[in-house]
């Protein structure tokens, strides 16, 4: 299709049009023979639009990033392409760009975080933003200030982007309604964690070359996991076959509504998987007893070498972190050559750079 459009353009450029403006097909045939490579010769590389130009022309319409459910497949691929470029740039000596020069980003984390907060800070600084990390434990929140009052207070400081993590599902969306800047959800309760799902997708795509058609098995505490929900949204949008594996006590009600195959037997669920993604037990979100013991959980649902052998020989091993070694994953597997857990951390910075760059396009320019 692109080749025909190129030939039509060349006809128009060279004046090979009839009086009615139609393409002279006899001339088109001659031109095709002249322009297209002969068999056995190297193909002519005709770039109609570079990847960078395509990225610049793509219209990312979102002001905020609150949930993966609101992202279409083209939007996800656009963010992954941006992140792919950022990942390559981050391996160079000069990592800085001026995309967010003059902009201010606030990290507002109501829950403990190492990877997410650090990578957002690093991503923003590599894009030349001014970054403020707000320590909630020493803020007025401890004196009884409400989430809305905190939002109004921060909004008065005229930030451009606020990154929020909160223990309550829906809290980040509520805050986004009270401020004038862009808001990024860095995890809200057991609801969503968009940038984690995007970095997982990027890690898979860079390792496997594709996502469509792959079988991804997500195993562990599905009930309390925002990572599982976000990954199911993104992976389904990109054409993967998603499985969730957990004991019945760690599955949500009617789990099939999420669009994934459901297994309560890890041996069956992991069979022939291309990717095995383990989840941390969310002990802090559990009310009551969901498992008899962590030792028994590991016996039936922890990833060890024996269970991993059921997956494909080149299956990737993933974990969003922090890992509980000996609970959901064995050290021998976490440190195995098939593990891409460290790559996930690296891709986290790249994905957050991509999200910040995409949202920056919709920020006021004056």
Is 208 annotated to bind a ligand? Reply is no
How crowded is residue 333: how many other Cβ atoms within 10 Å of its Cβ?
22
Query: Which residues neighbour 332 within 8 Å (Cβ) at sequence distance 6 or greater?
Result: 304, 305
Round to whole Å and give the CA distance between 174 and 176.
Answer: 5
Is 193 annotated to bind a ligand? Reply is yes
- Measure Cα distances from 254 to 91, 262, 320 in Å: 44, 10, 24
Is 115 annotated to bind a ligand? Reply is yes
Is 116 annotated to bind a ligand? Reply is yes
- DSSP-derived secondary structure letter, 23: B
Is 321 annotated to bind a ligand? Reply is yes
- Measure Cα distances from 203 to 61, 243, 311, 332, 354 in Å: 25, 18, 18, 21, 14
Is 226 annotated to bind a ligand? Reply is yes
340 φ/ψ angles, rounded to the nearest 5 degrees: -120, 30
Round to whole Å and give the CA distance between 61 and 178.
Answer: 20
- Measure Cα distances from 327 to 5, 263, 275, 323 in Å: 57, 19, 19, 9
Dihedral over Cα of 284, 253, 304, 214: its sign = negative
Angle at 308 between CA 303 and CA 310, to 5 degrees: 130
Nearest to 126 by CA among 159, 157, 93, 155: 93
Residue positions forming the annotated binding site for carbamoyl phosphate: 115-116, 165, 193, 196, 321-322
Residue positions forming the annotated binding site for L-aspartate: 143, 226, 280
Residue positions forming the annotated binding site: 115-116, 143, 165, 193, 196, 226, 280, 321-322
């Amino acid at each position: 299709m692109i080749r025909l459009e190129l030939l039509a353009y060349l006809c128009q450029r060279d004046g090979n049009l009839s009086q009615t403006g139609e393409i002279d097909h006899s001339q088109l045939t001659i031109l095709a023979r002249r322009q297209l490579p002969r068999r056995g010769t190297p193909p002519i590389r005709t770039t109609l639009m570079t990847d960078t130009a395509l990225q610049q022309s793509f219209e990312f319409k979102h002001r905020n990033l609150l949930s993966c459910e609101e992202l279409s497949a083209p939007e996800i691929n656009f963010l992954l392409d941006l992140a792919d470029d950022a990942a390559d740039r981050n391996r160079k000596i000069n990592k800085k760009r001026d995309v967010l020069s003059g902009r201010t980003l606030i990290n507002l984390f109501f829950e403990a975080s190492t990877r997410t907060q650090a990578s957002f800070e690093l991503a923003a600084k590599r894009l030349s933003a001014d970054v403020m990390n707000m320590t909630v434990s020493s803020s007025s929140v401890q004196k009884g200030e409400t989430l809305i009052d905190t939002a109004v207070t921060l909004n008065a400081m005229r930030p451009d982007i606020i990154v929020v993590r909160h223990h309550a599902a829906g809290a980040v969306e509520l805050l986004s309604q009270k401020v004038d800047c862009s808001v990024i959800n860095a995890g809200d309760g057991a609801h969503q964690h968009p940038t984690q799902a995007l970095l997982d997708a990027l890690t898979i795509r860079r390792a496997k070359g594709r996502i469509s058609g792959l079988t991804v098995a997500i195993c562990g505490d599905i009930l309390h996991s925002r990572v599982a929900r976000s990954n199911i949204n993104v992976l389904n949008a990109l054409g993967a076959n998603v499985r969730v594996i957990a004991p019945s006590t760690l599955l949500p009600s009617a789990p099939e509504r999420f669009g994934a195959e459901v297994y309560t037997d890890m041996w069956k669920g992991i069979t022939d998987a291309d990717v095995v993604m383990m989840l941390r037990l969310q002990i802090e979100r559990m009310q009551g007893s969901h498992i008899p013991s962590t030792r028994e959980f590991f016996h039936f649902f922890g990833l060890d070498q024996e269970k991993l052998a059921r997956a494909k020989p080149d299956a990737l091993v993933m974990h969003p972190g922090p890992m509980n070694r000996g609970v959901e994953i064995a050290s021998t597997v976490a440190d195995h050559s098939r593990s891409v857990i460290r790559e996930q951390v690296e891709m986290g910075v790249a994905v957050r750079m991509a999200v910040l760059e995409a949202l920056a396009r919709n920020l006021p320019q004056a």
